[in-house]
Structure 1
Amino acid sequence: MKIRIKGNSLRYRLSKSDVDRFNKEGYLEEVTDFGGQQLTYALQRYTLPNLAATLQDNTITLFMPAPMVHEWVATEKVGFEYTDSHLYLLVEKDFQCLDNVAEDQSDNYPNPLMTC
């Protein structure tokens, strides 16, 4: 799972195995160690109708409604977005990059713009 923050925009991108694990467990988290402190970012399934996010005790949690999770896993839907007050939220499947990058992308979804 990757996180991107820019201004009032929060985006999570998940690989195929991340999506499968999240579907089974309803919770997924990653931790970034800054030495003396850690930043945790998590995705949690819940019952309210829209995406929502909180920041508490160095943990960013993006909440995703259960019906969205079901649709996301069962279809080709790339992701969901919602503006919560002033914060833009997006959760999406992570596609393979079209250019050469050093990171392992073998678990990412095939990019629909790739030509064979």
Structure 2
Amino acid sequence: MKIRIKGNSLRYRLTKSDVNSLAGEGYIQEQTNFLEQSLTYAIKTSEGNTLTAEYTSNVITLFIPAFMITELVNTDKVGFEEKGGPIYLLVEKDFTCLDNVDEDQSDNYPNPLLQKN
């Protein structure tokens, strides 16, 4: 799982394993350690109808409705967004990059643009 923060937008990118873990366990998290503190970012399934998020005690939690996880698992749906709150939220499948990167992408979804070529 990766996050990208820019201004008032928060974007989560999920690998195949991330989506499967969310479907099975309902919660995933990662942590970035600094010298004396850490930042945790997580996703938790909810019974709501929209994406929501909170930031408490150095933890960013994105709440995603269970039906959205089901769609990510069972369909070609790429992701979901929420524009209505104070922060723009986006959760999407993490595709393999089109250019060469040193990062391990073995658990990423196949990039649909590569399949067109």
Give the TM-score normalised by the residue count of structure 1.
0.96
SS, match of residue 35 in structure 2: coil
Aligned residues: 116
Match of 2:52 in 1: 52
SS, match of residue 96 in structure 2: coil
User: What is the distance in 2 between the residues matched to 1:84 and 1:53?
Assistant: 12
Residue segments in structure 1 that go unaligned for 5+ positions in a row: none
Give the TM-score normalised by the residue count of structure 2.
0.95
User: What is the distance in 1 between the residues matched to 2:114 and 2:75?
Assistant: 20
Deviations 1:66-98 (A, max 9, x none): 111111111010000002422100000000000
Q: Would you say the 8 A contact 1:45–1:65 is kept in 2?
A: yes
Q: Name the structure with the higher helix share.
A: 2
Deviation at 1:48, TM superposition (A): 1.1
Deviation at 1:18, TM superposition (A): 1.0
Q: Percent identity?
A: 61
Q: Would you say the 8 A contact 1:42–1:62 is kept in 2?
A: yes
Residue segments in structure 2 that go unaligned for 5+ positions in a row: none
User: What is the distance in 2 between the residues matched to 1:15 and 1:48?
Assistant: 23
User: What is the distance in 2 between the residues matched to 1:105 and 1:96?
Assistant: 6
